[in-house]
Amino acid sequence: MIRVRIFQSTAMLLLFAAVFTGCASPRAVRIEFEPYRINQDGQFQIYIATEDTPWKQEVVSQLALQLGPDYSLTIENLSSLSNLKTSEWDVILILSTFYAFGLQSDTEAFLSGLQEKKKTILVVTSAINDLGDYGIDSITAASVGNTKKDAFLLTPKREPAEVSVEILQLIRDKTQSL
């Protein structure tokens, strides 16, 4: 009986460790990329924090084409948000994910301390309908790579070009007054 209890306790402890370690750190499975810039001499400075997924990278590519040379884009990993000086940028665009337990950790930490909300745009590629709690412009779109049935039911899948048109309008609105 004692061996059974010890086995059950050990099994439970290992299960909890696996669940909490796996869920607590999606950063460990995320692929980091080398930061890069597009149109370095552009008049407007746009900071883009993103993850390295084909869908999000296509959104960035579409934006670069649509915005043109007047917009300088700096593209970095979401982990860079912790060091971001918002005053240096005209617009901050965050392309992130909403996991089962909440918004991606770097994104959540940044938004929790955000003071300059008018210049920030959040795009979440997950099945979540209400991002209004953050007090910033936001767009929700399950990426076309998301094959989960619940994501499809809650949030329609959208092509990068379609989403980039919405982001483009928000960026132009924000920079028009500068």
Cα–Cα distance for residue pair 80/167, rounded to 1 Å? 21
Angle at 108 between CA 103 and CA 110, to 5 degrees: 150
Cα–Cα distance for residue pair 62/160, rounded to 1 Å? 7
132: amino acid identity, one letter: G
Q: What is the pLDDT of residues 70-110, one digit of tens each?
A: 999 999 999 999 999 999 999 999 999 877 777 888 999 99
Q: What is the pLDDT of residues 103-160, one digit of tens each?
A: 888 999 999 999 889 999 999 876 555 566 677 888 877 665 555 555 445 556 788 9
Angle at 146 between CA 128 and CA 123, to 5 degrees: 45
Cα–Cα distance for residue pair 80/152, rounded to 1 Å? 30
Q: Which pair of structure tokens corresponds to residue 71?
A: 């917009």
Class of domain 31-176: alpha beta
- pTM score, two decimals? 0.78
